[in-house]
Each structure stands twice: as structure tokens, then as C-alpha cells.
């Protein structure tokens, strides 16, 4: 079946260091979304990428969608303690709205 | 306006009991989704409604799981004869109809944590 793999599973960084999480799909995606889930919370939408090779920025966060629309990355520059949480990519293989989530990358930031 | 709400927030059931989990989506959101999230994992798709029509139920793990949305707003996920492996957080999400919003952004509720003992 369709799978979305995400690495690494965990990442511990010192505050101010950069962080990157990678997402790979077994099939071509119509779009990819990124969500953040704080401990004890629910997923909150961050961004959606639709076009091949698309790059979007939100302050210190940079999101990329691969040329083949099968992979994506999220890069955080100069992490802060408020960045702590689990970041999920979620691929949309078709037009039904059915999202396939990756396993998530849990980010810990040491002050 | 209010976000997606779910009730109860916590449910403890004895093995073999039936449970019903409720989701109130954002007003005007046509699409509604149910996910199951095990500890340390990403949400796994269970089923999807567009208005009252259940368009995809491919993620329901067994015929003990049943979902409905009879009037196209509130939805209920029912689990019959609960088993220990059903213990998880059940998340509901809603979204605007893609054709109107041009996006499939999903708004999640706080979830119901189900523990089967």
C-alpha cells in the first residue's frame, strides 16, 4: 500500500542549531502537507506544497517538495525552545482528501 | 468560531464493551475524517465523509468499527466489542470542500483517548 516514511524519528539539538526532517513517499503525491503536534496536543496544519520543486518559507521554517513529487523536507534555522514537538508530513496521493501520515520526527531543543 | 470538538476526551472501556465517540466539525466544513493515533505514531486514516456520504472507509481495521454522519455535520465513530489493541487516541478532522477552498488543510480536534482494559 501507499507509505510515507519520515526520518529521523527523534532529534535532539541545542537551541540555536538547525534541524531538518525528511519525508519520502512510495508513490507520487498530488500534494504534501506538514503538521506540528505539541506534546499532549493535536496536529496543527503548518503548510501545503503542491507544485513540483516548490519551496515555501515561514519565518525560520523552509519547506521543499521534490521534483518528482515523492519527497519533501522541513528545515528549521536556529531552533528555539518553542519549536519542540513532533513534525509530521502527510501526503495526499489522490483527490479524496485521504492523508497518509509519516511516523513523525520528534524534536527536542535544549536551552 | 469554535474549532473541532470531540467527546468524551477520555474513555476507559472494559474489553468487550461498545463505545461511541463523537465529533463536532467546524460549521460549514463539508469533509470530515477519522484517524487513529497510537502512541509514538502518526495518525492513521480510518474513514472519510463528504457531507453525509461515507466516501472512503478503507482504513477501518475491522467490521467492529462503524462511522456515521447522518445529517452531514456531527459524526459518531462506534467500536463494538472493544479489544485491547483498540486503545489509542481517535482524532477527528474537518476541512472545507476542496473545490471551494483550493486546499485540503485539515483542522483537527483534541482527540478522544480510548483505553481498553
Question: What is the predicted pLDDT for the residue at B46?
Answer: 96
Question: What distance in Å separates the CA atoms of residue B84 and residue B16, rounded to the nearest whole number?
Answer: 9
What Cα–Cα distance (Å) separates residue B41 from each residue in A31, A103, B7, B21, B109? 21, 5, 22, 21, 17
DSSP, collapsed to helix, strand or coil, labels residue B98 as helix
Residue B104 has pLDDT above 90, yes or no: no
The cell for A46 is 503548518
- Put simply, the chain B residues between 43 and 102 with a CB less than 8 A from any chain A CB are 43-45, 48, 55-56, 58, 91, 93, 95, 98
Out of A41-45, A87-91, B54-58, B99-103, pick the least confident: B99-103
Question: What is the predicted pLDDT for the residue at B101?
Answer: 41
Instruction: Kindly state the DSSP code that residue B101 receives in the 8-state scheme.
Output: H
With b for 16 or more beta-carbon neighbours within 10 A and e for fewer, the B91-104 pattern comes to bbbbbbebeeeeeb
Instruction: Kindly state the DSSP code that residue A51 receives in the 8-state scheme.
Output: S
Question: What is the predicted pLDDT for the residue at A95?
Answer: 65
Q: Are B91 and B43 in contact (CB under 8 A)?
A: yes
Which residues of chain B neighbour A6 with C-beta distances below 8 Å?
42
Q: Are A12 and A24 in contact (CB under 8 A)?
A: no
> Shortest CB distance from A101 goes to which of B42, B98, B109?
B42
Who wins on pLDDT, A55 or B102?
Answer: A55
Question: What is the predicted pLDDT for the residue at A2?
Answer: 73
CB atoms within 10 A of CB B32: 29
The cell for B46 is 480510518
Residue A10 has pLDDT above 90, yes or no: yes
Residue A42 has pLDDT above 60, yes or no: yes
Question: What is the predicted pLDDT for the residue at B2?
Answer: 82
Residue B96 has pLDDT above 90, yes or no: no
Q: Are A30 and A70 in contact (CB under 8 A)?
A: no
- Put simply, the chain B residues between 16 and 35 with a CB less than 8 A from any chain A CB are 31, 33, 35
Question: What is the predicted pLDDT for the residue at A96?
Answer: 64
Confidence of residue B100 (pLDDT cuts 50, 70, 90): very low
In this predicted model, what pLDDT tens digit does every residue of B39-92 receive, in sequence order?
999 999 999 999 999 988 999 999 999 999 999 999 999 999 999 999 999 999
In this predicted model, what pLDDT tens digit does every residue of A20-39 receive, in sequence order?
999 999 999 988 999 999 99
Question: What distance in Å separates the CA atoms of residue B116 and residue B90, rounded to the nearest whole number?
Answer: 13
Amino acid at each position: 500500500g501507499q507509505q510515507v516514511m519520515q526520518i529521523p524519528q527523534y532529534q535532539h539539538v541545542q537551541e540555536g542549531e538547525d534541524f531538518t526532517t525528511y519525508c519520502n513517499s512510495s508513490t507520487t503525491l498530488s500534494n504534501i502537507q506538514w503538521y506540528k503536534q505539541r506534546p499532549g496536543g493535536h496536529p496543527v496544519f503548518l503548510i501545503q506544497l503542491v507544485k513540483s520543486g516548490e519551496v515555501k518559507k515561514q519565518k525560520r521554517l523552509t519547506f521543499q517538495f521534490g521534483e518528482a513529487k515523492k519527497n519533501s523536507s522541513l528545515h528549521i534555522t536556529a531552533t528555539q525552545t518553542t519549536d519542540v514537538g513532533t513534525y509530521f508530513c502527510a501526503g495526499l496521493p489522490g483527490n479524496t482528501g485521504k492523508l497518509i501520515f509519516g511516523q513523525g520526527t520528534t524534536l527536542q531543543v535544549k536551552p | 468560531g469554535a474549532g473541532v470538538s470531540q467527546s468524551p476526551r477520555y474513555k476507559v472501556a472494559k474489553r468487550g464493551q461498545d463505545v461511541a465517540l463523537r465529533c463536532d466539525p467546524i460549521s460549514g466544513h463539508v469533509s470530515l475524517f477519522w484517524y487513529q493515533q497510537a502512541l509514538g505514531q502518526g495518525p492513521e486514516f480510518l474513514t472519510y465523509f463528504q457531507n453525509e456520504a461515507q466516501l472512503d472507509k478503507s482504513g477501518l481495521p475491522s467490521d467492529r468499527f462503524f462511522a456515521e454522519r447522518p445529517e452531514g455535520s456531527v459524526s459518531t465513530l462506534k467500536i463494538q466489542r472493544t479489544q485491547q489493541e483498540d486503545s489509542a487516541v481517535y482524532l477527528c478532522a474537518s476541512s472545507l470542500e476542496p473545490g471551494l477552498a483550493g486546499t485540503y488543510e485539515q483542522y483537527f480536534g483534541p482527540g478522544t483517548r480510548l483505553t481498553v482494559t
